[in-house]
């Protein structure tokens, strides 16, 4: 078993019309044994920027703490919030710095940039970025997430339809992966508001 699969995870981000959604499952396991059913994988950097961290749970939490520290320093120095593109480069550099003993995480970054243009990207554990205009996925359920998102996604969705689409994609994908699941957590971010919802999924 790969170290990335040790805790199990499923994270997905999707772009809508001047909005984006980021969702994750809630299971924390140790291989096939479930340890917690309310584990957080999506973290807030600032009100228009979020990061989802799949992979090894302990590394995800460490990485998040380092990123918050770096972002706070940036805020003090620049007196403004970081743009999603800048933050993606920061995460990439941070991961590449540790390339010989990497954080076993595959981050997904989602945010609203200039003119509230949605930005999403993912990267591997050493910071190789992959930008997308529609959706990005990571975690143990990534293969089934690709299939579900590919068939359900359509461009320029309004926030409510985007929520419905990402939720259905997440729930149907984690049912096909025994290492992730136990409900979901979805954030829909628009220029004016952030909607947070918890999904109830199969509890097995």
Query: Edge-to-edge strands of the sheet including 20-25?
Result: 135-139, 10-15, 20-25, 184-189, 194-199
Q: What is the pLDDT along the chain (204 residues), one digit of tens a residue?
A: 899 999 999 999 999 999 999 999 999 999 999 999 999 999 999 999 999 999 999 999 999 999 999 999 999 999 999 999 999 999 999 999 999 999 999 999 999 998 999 999 999 999 999 999 999 999 999 999 999 999 999 999 999 999 999 999 999 999 999 999 999 999 999 999 999 999 999 888
The pTM for the full model equals 0.94
The 10 Å CB-count burial string (b at 16+, else e) for 161-179 is: ebbebbbebbbbbbbebeb
∠ Cα 126 141 181 (to 5°): 120
Cα Rg of the chain (Å, integer): 16
Q: Which of 118, 126, 148, 100 is nearest to 20 (CA)?
A: 118
DSSP 110: E
The span from the CA of 63 to the CA of 57, in Å, is 10
pLDDT at 183: 94
């Amino acid at each position: 078993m790969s170290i990335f699969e040790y805790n199990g995870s499923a994270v997905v981000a999707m772009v809508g019309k001047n909005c984006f959604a980021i969702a994750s499952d809630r299971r924390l396991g140790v291989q096939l044994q479930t340890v917690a059913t309310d584990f957080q994988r999506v973290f807030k950097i600032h009100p228009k920027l979020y990061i989802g961290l799949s992979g090894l749970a302990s590394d995800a939490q460490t990485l998040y703490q380092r990123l918050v520290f770096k972002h706070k320093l940036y805020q003090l120095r620049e007196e403004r919030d970081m743009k999603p593109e800048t933050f993606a480069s920061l995460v990439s550099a941070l991961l590449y710095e540790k390339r010989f003993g990497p954080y076993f995480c595959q981050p997904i970054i989602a945010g609203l940039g200039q003119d509230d243009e949605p930005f999403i990207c993912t990267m591997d554990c050493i910071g190789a970025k992959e930008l997308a205009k529609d959706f990005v996925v990571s975690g143990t359920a990534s293969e089934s997430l690709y299939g579900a998102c590919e068939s359900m996604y359509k461009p320029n969705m309004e926030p409510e339809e985007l929520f419905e689409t990402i939720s259905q994609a997440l729930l149907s994908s984690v049912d096909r992966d025994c290492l992730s699941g136990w409900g979901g957590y979805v954030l829909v971010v628009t220029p004016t508001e952030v909607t947070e919802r918890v999904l109830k999924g199969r509890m097995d």
